[in-house]
Amino acid sequence: MMNKIASLPPVSEMMRESGLEPKKQFGQNFLFDLNLTGRIARSVPNIEKTTVVEIGPGPGGLTRALLMAGAKKVIAIEKDKTTNDILSRIVDASDGRLEIIFGDALRVNLNDIKEYAICANLPYNVGTELLIQWLHKIASGEKIKSLTLMFQREVAQRIVAKVGNEQYGRLSVLANLIADTKILFDVPNTAFVPRPKVQSAVVQIIPNAKKIKAIKDIKSLEKLTAKLFGQRRKMIRGIIKTDWEKFGLTGTERAEEISPEVFLKISSIIDVNLL
């Protein structure tokens, strides 16, 4: 049944046939290289048993790879309705495994799906915002089993950064308190049409039930990291007056020297609402 997908014309040809051009306002940078889309799709853990949510299928290169890799079901959310012609042809070839939802991924509610994985070559203009949304959903119990996502390389490095790294910040703390994160591989800008200025990387984020259980109040955690990283050059004792020794700190540290675990501990003891 994968043959119907494999025998569709190449993505670039389907684009030409339907007159589809990449649009800047939707952050469109498409992937045509089958080796690359295949590699991303095959990175989704247990894909054959999984419903995969794809954000921004565009002309469907990655969507096709997910179907070819054997995804049980793919639900693709796309904002640009002019991709409808092309995506409908893929739906027709999918034997009921592909569903397209036209809408804004920032607003679509997926509560009805019991369990899913996310895989996407994300539009860079909303990538970070989407990730933060997903991390909050995961922390509040939504069953997202894995996220396999293309980001611009600098954002990828921020997601996986450990305490002490130059890129370490709010996003690293949040992501690593909720999930296990790693960069799977780098992707050069030459892989995209049109070619973006920045380099990219595929990140894998696997929610970790044990970590999630330890988070009691994600809002105060976020307030705390916003406050301390908001003045990242300042010593923490100059930002918050408290007995830092309780946390094994002297107060002369800066935010970038505080590990995610210690952030969590501080946020559970200090009343962040009073800050």
* Contacts to ligand SAH by CB under 6 A: 26-31, 55-58, 61-62, 77-80, 104-106, 121, 123, 126
Name the minimum Å distance from CB 30 to ligand SAH. Answer: 4
260: preceding bond cis by omega (within 30 degrees)? no
Instruction: List strand residue ranges (DSSP E) for 60-163, in order.
Output: 73-78, 98-102, 116-121, 144-152
Nearer to ligand SAH, 83 or 225 (CB): 83
The residue at minimum Cβ distance from ligand SAH is: 56
Nearer to ligand SAH, 60 or 260 (CB): 60
Block residue for tokens 């684009």: 15
Nearer to ligand SAH, 33 or 253 (CB): 33
CA-based nearest residue to 31, from 3, 16, 10, 5: 10
CA-based nearest residue to 75, from 38, 123, 117: 117
Name the minimum Å distance from CB 3 to ligand SAH. Answer: 22
Name the minimum Å distance from CB 125 to ligand SAH. Answer: 7
Name the minimum Å distance from CB 52 to ligand SAH. Answer: 12
CA distance 160 to 234: 24
Nearer to ligand SAH, 196 or 251 (CB): 196
Find out whether 215 and 237 touch, Cβ atoms under 8 Å. Answer: no
Name the minimum Å distance from CB 107 to ligand SAH. Answer: 8
Nearer to ligand SAH, 129 or 243 (CB): 129
CA distance 104 to 108: 6
